Structure 1
């Protein structure tokens, strides 16, 4: 009888350990699919219909890649979110154009500095399922007087820094949160996390791409001086 009790206890411990291991699954490469919502001023509300409602972020280790379509151009953005370096690839097949723009650590940090500063992260204890993940609610604010909430889950672990330095205080993967992209306030909600083989990604300029500066690209678009 005692032996049976010990066996049952051991089995329970092993099963419990398996559940914990599964609950804290660490993913080092794959694809995160987000639903995207935009908060725009009333005068820009019509723009929201033209913006993508979904964003796929591929990652391998500390390097992520986002691909998007803008008219005839395919744009790939790669960033090492630890070393804070990046590369933008612009491909316009119909015009036989391939441009590459390197982003230094200084460039990335300058862009980050222009965004509102987030602080005062507080766990509320409120729990809710977001997509496939059980999550806890946090509140936070920015230095412009804005107040926000996010949901973080301990059931999956993404690479440290994946969501950006401003969220490094949060334990767990952010499954729903509000942040700023290119000056726009966006709310990202995870629809799926795919643990698939992607990359490895390189920040070296691929063969066939002509190196340009961001100022040169903006001038081509009529945004330069």
Structure 2
């Protein structure tokens, strides 16, 4: 769960600063040499990560094979957001603001990024390789494209993360498990629908604090 949170957070950071409309869908594939772990992963086939960004608003949805869906919605202009989780523990929600985001940024301070002179094509975009090393000695391999234009201020903030472009593929090896997120669809126009970027907690969700959500997720 911690690795999933880190992956989503790194990508989510990108989604909140892109100075244009954007919608990306990632297919999540998982593999393990351990037969027991591989069998468990079979229950998460069809997992996806969807990212939408429009103006100063963003939304990310991670669906783990129908077992649990995690949604983050952020309004940068208001400096507020909401986290929605729908899964085996029921429907849980938590609101957060810039102070909570600052705590996440502080946790990411020790991330080290190495840019690699390798390239490949994803969805028609030329992507470069980067390796991100975390304080837990976990390596994340990213393939990013510089072809997605970022605003000047946004680019400056994004470069602090060390990744000078939008990631169209990223993967992590943790112990005997590998997870890869690969972009299967990318649109540069987003048609906003009702409640797409709403910060209101939907009916049927139990409101918690971010700390309570973290404890429930085992983080």
TM-score normalised according to structure 1 size: 0.57
Is 1:65 the counterpart of 2:28 in the alignment? no
CA distance in 1, matches of 2:145, 2:76: 20
Q: Check conservation: 1:153, 1:172, Cα contact below 8 A.
A: yes
3-state SS of paired residue (2:199): coil
Total equivalences in the alignment: 187
Seen in structure 2, the aligned counterparts of structure 1 residues 218 and 150 have a Cα distance that, compared at 3 Å, is closer
**Structure 1, unpaired ranges of 5+:** 1-25
Structure 1 counterpart of 2:50, from 41, 52, 56: 56
Shift, 1:87, TM fit: 0.4
Q: Deviations over 1:166-224 (max 9, x none)?
A: 973222222222369xxx984322222112333385453268577722467789x8x89
CA distance in 2, matches of 1:47, 1:116: 33
The aligned counterpart of 1:105 is 98
1:167-182 matches, within 5 Å, as 168-178=161-171
Shift, 1:100, TM fit: 4.5
Question: Aligned-residue CA RMSD in angstroms?
Answer: 4.5
Is 1:194 the counterpart of 2:158 in the alignment? no
CA distance in 1, matches of 2:125, 2:95: 36
Is 1:137 the counterpart of 2:129 in the alignment? yes
**Structure 2, unpaired ranges of 5+:** 1-17
3-state SS of paired residue (2:120): strand
1:68-217 matches, within 5 Å, as 68=63, 76-80=71-75, 85-89=80-84, 100-111=93-104, 117-124=110-117, 126-157=118-149, 160=154, 168-178=161-171, 186-199=179-192, 202=197, 204-205=199-200, 212-214=207-209
